[in-house]
Amino acid sequence: AGTVTYNWDVTWVWAKPDGYGRPVIGINGQWPCPSIEATVGDTVIVNLNNKLNNQTTGLHFHGISQKGTEEMDGPAGVVQCPVPPGSSFKYQFVVDAPGTYWYHSHNMGQYPDGLRGPLIVQDPNDPYKGKYDEEVVLSVSDWYHLQSLDLMRGMLSPTNTRFAPPFPDNITVNEGLGSRVNFTKGKTYRIRMINFSALASAMIHFDSHTMSVIMNDASYIKKEDAYMLRIAPAQRYDFLISAIDRDKRNYPFLISLDYNRDYTNSTLGVRWPLNYTGYLVMDQTQPLNKVDVVNKWKPIDDSHFKNNDGSGILGPYNQLIKLDFKFCLDKNGYPRACFNNLTYIDQKVPTLYSAATTGNSNTNPTIYGQVNPFILKSGGIVQIVVNNYDEALHPFHLHGHNFQVLDRPKSGTGPWPGRDTNYANTPPERDTVTVNGNSYVVIRFKADNPGVWLFHCHIEWHVEMGLTATMIEGPDTLQSLTFPDDHINACKAGGTPYQGNA
Ligand code: C2O
């Protein structure tokens, strides 16, 4: 295995992905941000220099297990202090599983300002090797004309009694560069699709073409043909498309962003959904026809996906974590989001540092502050149930693990009945799962990766509202942890995390 090294200056860049100019956060003076490309087993090194002048920063590598490198996971206030302007910070970790990932800032609601990019890990044992000719990365995102800090000020103000998130102004594909994808008739493409959104789910449909879905997030599934996919913020799908070999024309693909509700609900008085037409360009001499408008958005139901190797359900479980999600007010009347009536409050001392420096008391959840902490025993099987009391769907992400998705019933089902039913035998694994509106989700994983791992809604605005829990896994192992100098220096320099209105 090799080493891939990136030297990145994080800088403000002027960009207009949808025609409207604004400052965005780029890398080495460029935006869109570059991709990280590696092969399973490689060591990835990112030498980051914060040249933003006015903001702290940091990077998280979404979906990467960080086995043995839990201090490299990235979230500010959790495993590191935010990197102050003028400081450098080195991330180093091994990519141990293939798939489509992404990296993004995990500090003060910063990734909607642009600091994000694909992270592709190639599979030397790719079961689809030889079954496709080329790869295409397709990212989709909601897009905002104002900067995140300004948007959040409004969201977190006591006048926001409806707990409304900021609404996007537009939709972008490949950060504004993605409207034409060159296809050659007869070739098969592996599309790696990533949703970078801070809020919106995307529906995607390719005119006249079938998507053969082979991975959800970074896990192989038993191949499923789909005509339409819904991809929630932070989720990924890998699918194969064979460029059809029939008539002389180009084919549109359609992407539509919604407010994570079912498409029947458009009472919000905002410009929903945001629609986008791109093209599979097979023949440059032919026109780009706007045909085949989709008027019924009905994505494939991913709740019946199966894993690819026939693995059974993990279990029985030793620990059940039940999280009831509702919007809530903090004691000062500010809008927040709560698990079990408690909102997450950003910590000045990263939770991992608390775990590493408090000896045996690190098994006591009360030492961690208001972070919705759960202590996980090494080696145990953990089941998390999220009850969603909101009418919109929410994508929940667990750091450090893939989990099995055991149950994900449709909107309106109500909360988990409190007992396990006959879950399907070969559940898919993911790192980000959507819980439908007024419904629940049941996930399971093995606590085989000591560290401090967040579990949160990946709507970035809801992270800033406190919709986060903290898994403190294998605290006994964490007692011996030490931290590199640049990590300690980031804390000494007083790069405090954004405090919101907590
Ligand atoms: Cu994409 Cu907490 O992460």
Domain ranges for the chain: 3-122, 134-304, 319-492
Q: How far is CA 471 from CA 344, 373, 454, in A?
A: 13, 6, 6
Tell me what pLDDT residue 500 has: 39
CA of 68 to the centre of ligand 1 (A): 18
Q: Which CATH number fits domain 134-304: 3.40.50.300, 3.30.43.10, 1.20.58.100, 2.60.40.420?
A: 2.60.40.420
Convert the pLDDT of each residue in 286-298 to its tens digit: 888 776 556 667 8
Q: Closest ligand 1 atom to the C-alpha of 62? A: 1
What is the per-residue DSSP string for 158-190?
Answer: TT-TT-PPPPPSEEEEGGGT-SEEE--TT-EEE
Q: Which two tokens stand for residue 462?
A: 């809801």
CA of 89 to the centre of ligand 1 (A): 19
CA of 462 to the centre of ligand 1 (A): 12
CA of 311 to the centre of ligand 1 (A): 26
Tell me what pLDDT residue 261 has: 62
Tell me what pLDDT residue 501 has: 34
pTM of the full structure: 0.96
Nearest CA to ligand 1 atom 3: 62
Cβ atoms of 111 and 234 within 8 Å: the answer is no
Q: Closest ligand 1 atom to the C-alpha of 75? A: 2
Nearest CA to ligand 1 atom 1: 62
Cβ atoms of 84 and 494 within 8 Å: the answer is yes
**Region 319-492: CATH code:** 2.60.40.420
Please tell me if the CB atom of residue 234 comes closer than 6 angstroms to any atom of ligand 1: yes
Positions in the chain whose pLDDT score sits under 70: 259-272, 291-296, 494-502
Tell me what pLDDT residue 264 has: 41
Q: Closest ligand 1 atom to the C-alpha of 399? A: 2
CA distance 216 to 239: 9
Distance of CA 372 to the CA centre of its chain: 20
Looking at the predicted complex, does its ipTM rise above 0.90? yes
CA distance 85 to 493: 10
CA distance 202 to 195: 7
Cβ atoms within 10 Å of 216's Cβ, excluding its own: 28
With CA atoms as reference, report the closest residue to 281 among 180, 412, 426. 180
Please tell me if the CB atom of residue 106 comes closer than 6 angstroms to any atom of ligand 1: yes
CA of 132 to the centre of ligand 1 (A): 30
Task: Tell me the three-class secondary structure of 121-163, residue by residue.
Answer: EECCCCCCCCCCCEEEEEEEEEECCCCHHHHHHHHCCCCCCCC
Cβ atoms of 441 and 405 within 8 Å: the answer is yes
Please tell me if the CB atom of residue 462 comes closer than 6 angstroms to any atom of ligand 1: no
Sheet of strand 403-407: strand arrangement:
335-339, 319-329, 381-388, 439-446, 403-407, 429-430
CA of 460 to the centre of ligand 1 (A): 9
Please tell me if the CB atom of residue 60 comes closer than 6 angstroms to any atom of ligand 1: yes
Mean pLDDT score of the chain, rounded to an integer? 93
CA of 399 to the centre of ligand 1 (A): 7
Convert the pLDDT of each residue in 397-438 to its tens digit: 999 999 999 999 999 999 999 999 889 999 999 999 999 999
Please tell me if the CB atom of residue 397 comes closer than 6 angstroms to any atom of ligand 1: yes
Please tell me if the CB atom of residue 456 comes closer than 6 angstroms to any atom of ligand 1: yes
In the chain, % of residues over pLDDT 70 = 94
Cβ atoms within 10 Å of 197's Cβ, excluding its own: 29
CA of 62 to the centre of ligand 1 (A): 6
CA of 16 to the centre of ligand 1 (A): 25
Please tell me if the CB atom of residue 454 comes closer than 6 angstroms to any atom of ligand 1: yes
Q: Closest ligand 1 atom to the C-alpha of 63? A: 1
Q: Closest ligand 1 atom to the C-alpha of 102? A: 1
With CA atoms as reference, report the closest residue to 433 among 193, 258, 232. 232
Please tell me if the CB atom of residue 399 comes closer than 6 angstroms to any atom of ligand 1: yes
> Which architecture does CATH list for 3-122?
Sandwich (2.60)
CA of 242 to the centre of ligand 1 (A): 32
CA of 170 to the centre of ligand 1 (A): 22
CA of 390 to the centre of ligand 1 (A): 21
- The set of residues, in sequence order, having a beta carbon less than 8 Å from that of 264 and lying 6+ positions away, is none
Q: Which H or E run contains 487?
A: helix 485-492
Q: Closest ligand 1 atom to the C-alpha of 234? A: 1
Tell me what pLDDT residue 292 has: 59
Q: Which two tokens stand for residue 15?
A: 């960009």
CA distance 4 to 119: 12
CA distance 176 to 361: 50
CA of 5 to the centre of ligand 1 (A): 22
Q: Closest ligand 1 atom to the C-alpha of 104? A: 1
